Structure 1
Amino acid sequence: MRIITLISLFTLSLTAFSQQVKLPIDTMVVSNHSVNISGKNINYTAQTGTQPVWNEKGIPVASLFYTYYKRSDIKNTENRPLVISFNGGPGSASVWMHLAYTGPRILKIDDEGFPVQPYGVKENPYSILDVADIVYVNPVNTGYSRLIDPEENKTDKKDFFGVQADIKYLAEWVNTFVTRKNRWLSPKYLIGESYGTTRVSGLALELQNSHWMYLNGVILVSPTEIGIERDGPVEIANRLPYFAAAAWYHKKLPTALQNKDLDEVLPEVENYAINTLLPVLVKGGFIEETKKKEIAAKMSGYSGISEKVISQNNLAVPFRYFWKELMREDGGFTVGRLDSRYLGIDSKIAGDSPDYNAELTSWLHSFTPAINYYLQQELKFETDIKYNMFGPVHPWDRSGDNSGEDLRQAMAQNPNLDVLIQSGYFDGATTYFNAKYSMWQLDPSGKMQDRLSFKAYRSGHMMYLRSEDLKNANNDIRDFIMKSLPKEGEPAKYLVK
């Protein structure tokens, strides 16, 4: 039996952009549920609602929509981890990880992540709710979150839509949430996907230095570059391992390589990219012609595209060209950007980039009906506001992105802070090898290696859509949380070895 409780905290209302529809600024709906995780029944409450963002005068200028899952059978939360979850974009709602990864309900999709009808949701037997409570946060203009009467309140969008602005106001929001829910004593973790990794990397330091909130862990899912430079030869060389992974999946590698397992192929390609390709690329236009031809032939064998195409691009094949080229002679299909397992059909085989992102249209196909049904029918949050899968947040100020350095500083200042990085091999937007590179560059001192870990999966940007990786990736988070919790009485300090 589900019990629904509506708590209206304020009577103010929020006017959605270009809609004469009002949403309560500060409200909450509570419902009771259960889920079977790894054979054990877990009872939990779902709190979904809105919580304001105030300006310096104490006036609500925005309201963020969130969903908070909390186990019902644990009363003392001082040892109960809290995971604060963000997606990316920027401009993306929290729907992706909420309804397909760590939460207690997930999409009804096939085992490889493709949409099936009838749409809907089902239990997630691998949710991390058994070991941690979770809140999914929607930044301004995503999900149901909105600015409040921006003209009347003279709200400057620059206070929300930019790397630093985003981090600053979300840190304030998290502080309020933790206080309201009485979670200050709980071990706390941030998880972000894609641009959400830029967000949580910056938040780790902002929460620590401006709110004195120290974390136990940060989880980066399909991370962006997090402000770590890699232009030029490094960026070009880093593409090759992803090219090889996508080509292996579509059986485009030479027979000797194709017959190997992916775990055998990729270390070989990584080694070549770092130790052979990169030093050659440094020479730019002064590469000897015979060497250039030799490199092009080797890259062709690792990428599944012709030596001629690689030479024509001066060894620097653009990502978009690769997505168009890989299957050009095999049915004329394109491959997906965020997940290259997905195939698309263009209006013509010729061209240098796909007409659309095949994977994204597939995902929107199943996610959009599911989240709208789930929030209103199962969690009973009823509103006429449109749920923004992707909201209007542009132009986004990308200046001042020091998020990787922010994360390093947060780790250095907090001996209890560990980091887990998760990536999909077939992700062509935030490639797994770039994620590895970020991890290597994150701590130049090398003194925090044991607090940085990396996991990769045989899927794409949203690795959890593939059933096997849903299980593996959640288990990796579960293990990370349990291992990063300090033993009782263990002090947070460095020891000379």
Structure 2
Amino acid sequence: MTYRPILASLCAASLLALSAQPALAQDAEKEAPAETIEPQVKSRDLSGTFGGQRISYTATIGETVLTSDKGEPEAVIVTTSYVKDPKDTSRPVFFIYNGGPGSGSVWLQMGAFGPKRVAIPSDARDDGAPPYPLVDNPDSLLDVADLVFIDPPGTGFSYLTDEADPEDYYGLRQDARAVAEVIRRWINDNGRWGSPKYLGGESYGTTRTAMVVDELEGATYNDVGLNGLILISTILDFAAREPTPGNEMAYIVTLPNMAAAAYYHGKVQAPSVEAIAEEARQFAIGPFATALLKGQDLPDAERAAVRAELSRLTGLSERYLDQANLRVTSQRFYKELLRDRGLTIGRLDARYTGEDYDDAGETPDSDPSFYGIDAGYTAAINQWARETLGFETDRGYNSIGSEPGRNWDWSLPGQGRNAYLNVAPFIGRAMRQNSQLRVFNAQGWYDFATPFFGAEYSLKRMGIPQDRVTYEYYDAGHMMYIRDEDRAKLSADIRAFIRNR
């Protein structure tokens, strides 16, 4: 599959029609491209105070149409950009998306880096019912970079046409090619080839970043150099997160998260979350990993010692740990940690608690850290895009679309999600081939969806220059910017990262 601008496709089709013989006219009509789509573009001039600076900027929400080899429109991708001065090509540009796969960019746009954000509770309480106020966001990064939020195919307001085959867009490599093409188009249309460029996302958006950097910097044509990759709540090595029988790494990388969550809810004692996390790290890669790898050869005395320390770190009873053969899945942990209080804890953010239908069972009914925030964000992006920016569409905004994820192609040559999917080597290769490419990694202590120890494990493997990787941690979960203090810290950390190029 290749992508070409619609205008070029139309010109090619017109030339073909003019040069065709009369006898072939009917066949030419049959092969003509489907009805073209006129991309919608809406702009507004606005202003705000970001990073302590008063800035005037242009907000533009627009559609980019990707076509097939035959010139047929296949995907309409929506981007929302915030540009301080179109003539200032020395300013960095930060291309941003969320994850899923299937998630629109609403979370990072309306929660962290956009000029406006939705005001929801900062202390791990649910967002309740409307109204959800849209407020100024002084933590936006517009003082240091122009921002381009991308809704990949099948997310947000972006969609596939009837002519498109979902298999050409819903997958690791397919999605990356589409996003890379949108980035190239934006750079070209806005004359920003000479600007410093940053690329990044959240959750699966970090996986996408590894794939997109391979498309942008690994291409043999139209290569796009990058200054930095910004990874938020990182997931690169999926094998380490699959608790299938025999995969002991899943228990090793989540143990520090269990310790942090137990600390937060008062089930264990420690001087700080940083202290308990470090204790758990050292235990996880030492005695715990050794015990798991010994399997049924583990001596009784060693099993008892490991069980006791595991209980101290996680707040779970030794009896429960013994019944689980020292291997507690995250799903079980959400239900078991606060069972005595009749509460479950969140997956995206373990600070959140919820009440299930009953206190029995092994896993929670749902994730209280997701249903506690989703309504506010959906309302915010619709209000901002439709009412403020004037975007016109009958389509709903897919904040978390099910279609891409349900049809996602997780395969890569020589790999596969259920075998050993690890995209971290793409980042390592890009860094080795670009001596100025740096990586920023942000993790929440209470995030079970993308555990901080799993991110460290992925990024500290061989082939990734550690002197160009920055690690930062936050006192919240997967979406650390929900907490006011951590949104400010995240903004300050990334602002420093961009300025220090």
Of the candidates 447, 459, 464, which is equivalent to residue 476 of structure 2?
459
Q: 1:285 aligned to 2:302? A: no
Q: Secondary structure at the match of 2:372?
A: helix
Kindly tell me the number of residue pairs found equivalent between the two proteins.
Answer: 453
- Matched residue type, 1:359: S
Aligned partners of 2:62 and 2:252: how far apart in 1? 46
Q: Secondary structure at the match of 2:95?
A: strand
Q: 1:243 aligned to 2:279? A: no
Matches within 5 A, 1:354-393: 354-391=364-401, 392-393=403-404
Aligned partners of 2:136 and 2:223: how far apart in 1? 37
Aligned 8 A contact 2:428 2:463 in 1:
no
Q: Residue 178 of structure 1: CA displacement? A: 1.2
Q: Which residue of 2 aligns with 1:127?
A: 140
Identical aligned residues as a percent: 37
Aligned 8 A contact 1:120 1:373 in 2:
no
Q: Which residue of 1 aligns with 2:150?
A: 137
Of the candidates 68, 72, 76, which is equivalent to residue 88 of structure 2?
76
Q: Which residue of 2 aligns with 1:18?
A: none
Write the deviation string for residues 108-129 of structure 1: whole angstroms up to 9, x where unpaired.
1233364265212111111111
Q: 1:157 aligned to 2:174? A: no
> Cα–Cα, structure 1 residues 162 and 452, in superposed 2: closer, same or farther, change >3 Å?
same
> Cα–Cα, structure 1 residues 43 and 23, in superposed 2: closer, same or farther, change >3 Å?
farther
Aligned 8 A contact 2:51 2:143 in 1:
no
Q: Residue 402 of structure 1: CA displacement? A: 4.8
How high is the TM-score relative to the length of structure 1? Answer: 0.87
Q: Which residue of 2 aligns with 1:324?
A: 335
Q: Residue 230 of structure 1: CA displacement? A: 7.0
Q: Which residue of 1 aligns with 2:215?
A: 206
Aligned partners of 2:152 and 2:167: how far apart in 1? 14
Q: 1:482 aligned to 2:493? A: no
Aligned partners of 1:308 and 1:179: how far apart in 2? 62
Aligned 8 A contact 2:167 2:407 in 1:
no
Aligned partners of 1:174 and 1:426: how far apart in 2? 32
- Matched residue type, 1:218: L
Answer 1 or 2: which has greater helix percent.
2
Of the candidates 399, 403, 407, which is equivalent to residue 395 of structure 1?
407
Aligned 8 A contact 1:25 1:63 in 2:
no
> Cα–Cα, structure 1 residues 278 and 314, in superposed 2: closer, same or farther, change >3 Å?
same
Of the candidates 397, 401, 404, which is equivalent to residue 424 of structure 2?
404
- Matched residue type, 2:453: F
Write the deviation string for residues 245-287 of structure 1: whole angstroms up to 9, x where unpaired.
001111111xxx24x1222222122111112211221101211
Q: Which residue of 2 aligns with 1:185?
A: 194
Aligned 8 A contact 1:101 1:470 in 2:
yes
> Cα–Cα, structure 1 residues 25 and 92, in superposed 2: closer, same or farther, change >3 Å?
farther
Aligned partners of 2:264 and 2:94: how far apart in 1? 33
Of the candidates 92, 96, 111, which is equivalent to residue 103 of structure 2?
92
Aligned partners of 2:463 and 2:99: how far apart in 1? 29
Q: Residue 382 of structure 1: CA displacement? A: 2.4
Aligned partners of 1:428 and 1:194: how far apart in 2? 11
Write the deviation string for residues 405-460 of structure 1: whole angstroms up to 9, x where unpaired.
1111111111111111101000011111111111111xx146x1111111110000
Structure 2 unaligned segments of length 5 or more: list them. Answer: 1-6, 11-34, 413-420
Q: Which residue of 1 aligns with 2:450?
A: 430
Q: Residue 374 of structure 1: CA displacement? A: 1.2
Q: Which residue of 2 aligns with 1:168?
A: 177
Q: Residue 229 of structure 1: CA displacement? A: 5.3
Aligned partners of 2:36 and 2:375: how far apart in 1? 26
> Alpha carbon RMSD of aligned pairs, Å?
2.1
How high is the TM-score relative to the length of structure 2? Answer: 0.87
Of the candidates 272, 282, 298, which is equivalent to residue 271 of structure 1?
282
Matches within 5 A, 1:7-156: 25-72=38-85, 75-77=87-89, 79-112=90-123, 114=125, 115=127, 117-149=130-162, 153=163, 155-156=164-165
Write the deviation string for residues 343-394 of structure 1: whole angstroms up to 9, x where unpaired.
1111110001000111111111211111111111111112221111122112
| More displaced 10-residue stretch of structure 1: 37-46 or 411-420 | 37-46
Aligned 8 A contact 2:43 2:60 in 1:
yes
Aligned 8 A contact 1:131 1:478 in 2:
yes
Q: Residue 226 of structure 1: CA displacement? A: 4.0
- Matched residue type, 2:83: K
- Matched residue type, 1:187: P
Q: Which residue of 2 aligns with 1:296?
A: 307
Aligned 8 A contact 1:38 1:125 in 2:
yes
Aligned 8 A contact 1:187 1:216 in 2:
yes
Q: Secondary structure at the match of 1:50?
A: strand
Aligned partners of 2:337 and 2:298: how far apart in 1? 26
| More displaced 10-residue stretch of structure 1: 204-213 or 84-93 | 204-213
Of the candidates 213, 216, 234, which is equivalent to residue 249 of structure 2?
234
Aligned partners of 2:399 and 2:71: how far apart in 1? 29
| More displaced 10-residue stretch of structure 1: 320-329 or 117-126 | 117-126
